Amino acid sequence: MQVSRFLRNTILVELFVPILLLTVGIYHGLMQVIYRAGVIHQSSVAKLDYYQGLTLHGVINAVVLTTFFAVAFGHATIAFYLKKEPNKRATALSMWLMVIGTLLAAAAMLAGKASVLYTFYPPLKAHPAFYIGTAMLIIGSWVAFFDWITIYLNWKKENRETNTPLAVIGTLVNFTIWFVCTTAVAYEVLVLLVPWSLGLTPTVNVPLARTLFWFFGHALVYFWLLPSYIMFYTMLPKLAGGKLYSATAGRIAFFLFLLLSIPIGVHHQFGDPSIGRGVKLSQSLLTFGVALPSFITAFTLAASLEYAARKRGAKGLYSWIWKLPFFRKDVFLFGYLINGLILFIFGGLTGLVLASYSLNNVVHNTAFIPGHFHMTVAGPVFLAILGMSIFLLQQLTGKKIFLPTINTIVPYLWTVGVIIFSTGLMWGGLMGEPRRTNLGLTYLNPASDQYHPYWVISSMLGLAGGGIMFVAGFLYFISFFGTLFGKRVAEPTIDLPVSESLHEEKRIPIFDTFKPWLAIMALIIFLSYLPAISDALNNTGKKAPPYLPTDPTPVFQKK
């Protein structure tokens, strides 16, 4: 479809800003593995501290990139499928709130006044600009979502007996999860952390802040993932040359995510003594339940891909896999998505390990944790974002992909790097290697009394994998920015690949409406988080004064 200049420029800005910042995020990712491998035996390089870099890496990659992309992709999806562009004022307000908020948070981080990691746990204290900027980024994404709801409701009035397009269901489910879960972190930031950071309140309730964060924090993972799922269901079968085995399966999966994404955050707090055992047990069981939509997706996509391969003449039980268009430059998006799926197999399996209370205790706060989440965040999430960003860039600018061979190779090179990197971290984690720690200062510094030689090989694997990931990211930037600044050869448009359904499926009303699912979602969240919040309020102990990450002395004591 043809798009207005306004929408085209908005989406391009929402792709350009995070990809530009991603250059900083990937650089600091490389520096993290260099520090942790013991190559550097100091706390900073180029006047950027280890924890400052770790914060920049986490916030840019996990919050800024994903939020900007989800909004940009949402604009494209809603406009393409519902044939209605978003409201100009709402869209402009959304974009500027996100851009200004990101700049505020980035300024605080670059100035070294917000080295609190992407979880920004108190009592680590950041500059108020970090918290306010983060809140503005979130509120900006809400504005876009509210506008899409209006477009959807108007479309539904005119198409009551027509199935809502699967991609639209996925987009609205994703942002419903996002809106509900971010209300908790918005309260944490605006009510607890900003007054505390400004010095208006002397202490902060740490258990409550952590609980509110993880109400948001694990649902955030599904906010990252669902754009990938939309691409898996609605685009991947088409790119493979086949059809989607079942669109109804996709609807079921999306609505299950709506129910189960939020009420499972406490499994990140298994080590928190303030949360009771009953809450941990119930949320652990719900965490296992959220694997169900992923299993549905795995079966549906495998069937869809096998159908595509057999259409190409594949024979035998497994040989059909090699008939898929892995290295075709004209369908490069297939490579990004299929590599993400491969990594997600390992990410999902290791996630089940962490959902178990007893197994989680074995690897709690070790390098196994970032090894796991890089399989998911740096797997299907990151690769889908990279692939769709350059795909939309190509269409919205009417330009050819710069160095298409390099662009096609990037996801495979990245996948090799992630596998090596995550293997090293998870291996080290099983041997007790800590996360979020500059190992080069102590444990991997031969001059230190705390030198720990058992972690040398695992950390070197992490370094090797991280180096390969950095090279893949660098090649992607060459292709992305080369395309951006290339010559226009076609009219700008949005033409998303749309997968047809293999079977003619009847419309099932309950899978085409949000009301009953929203009611069940509210009930599950209430039952799972009321006791968790109660525990956090009643089992607080002494409230904590603020700390800076570089000094174990409370800030108020120094005054």
Annotated catalytic residues are 218, 222, 372-374, 435-436
Distance CA 464, CA 316 (A): 37
What the block records as the tokens of 400 is 């050819």
The pair of three-digit structure tokens given for residue 422, joined into one six-digit string:
């995550």
Residue 154 burial (CB count, 10 A): 12
Distance CA 495, CA 258 (A): 28
Q: How far is Cα 99 from Cα 81, in angstroms, rounded to an integer?
A: 27
Q: Tell how far CA 321 is from the center of its chain.
A: 28
Largest CA distance in the chain: 75
Which residues lie across from 3 on neighbouring strands? none
Helix (H) or strand (E) holding 333: helix 332-355
**Whole-angstrom Cα distance, residue 297 to residue 395?**
28
Structure tokens at 294: 């992923």
DSSP string covering 344-402 = HHHHHHHHHHHHSHHHHHHHTTBTHHHHHHHHHIIIIIHHHHHHHHHHHHHHHHTBPPS
Residue type, 59: V
DSSP-based three-state secondary structure for 102: helix
Distance (Å) of CA 200 to CA 158, 196, 210, 298, 549: 52, 6, 20, 50, 21
Concatenated DSSP letters of 158-220:
H-TTSPPPHHHHHHHHHHHHHHHHHHHHHHIIIIIIHHHHTTSSS-B-HHHHHHHHHHHHHHH
* CB atoms near residue 297 (< 10 Å): 22
CA separation for the pair 250, 231 (Å, rounded): 11
Cα-to-chain-centroid distance, residue 206: 25
Distance CA 384, CA 407 (A): 13
Looking at residue 8, its amino acid is R
Distances (CA, A) of 432 to 298, 426, 483: 32, 10, 44
Separation CA 275–CA 478 (nearest Å): 48
Alpha carbon distance, N-terminus to C-terminus of the chain: 61
**Cα dihedral value 158, 161, 166, 170, nearest 10:** 70
Tokens representing residue 39 in the block:
């190559």
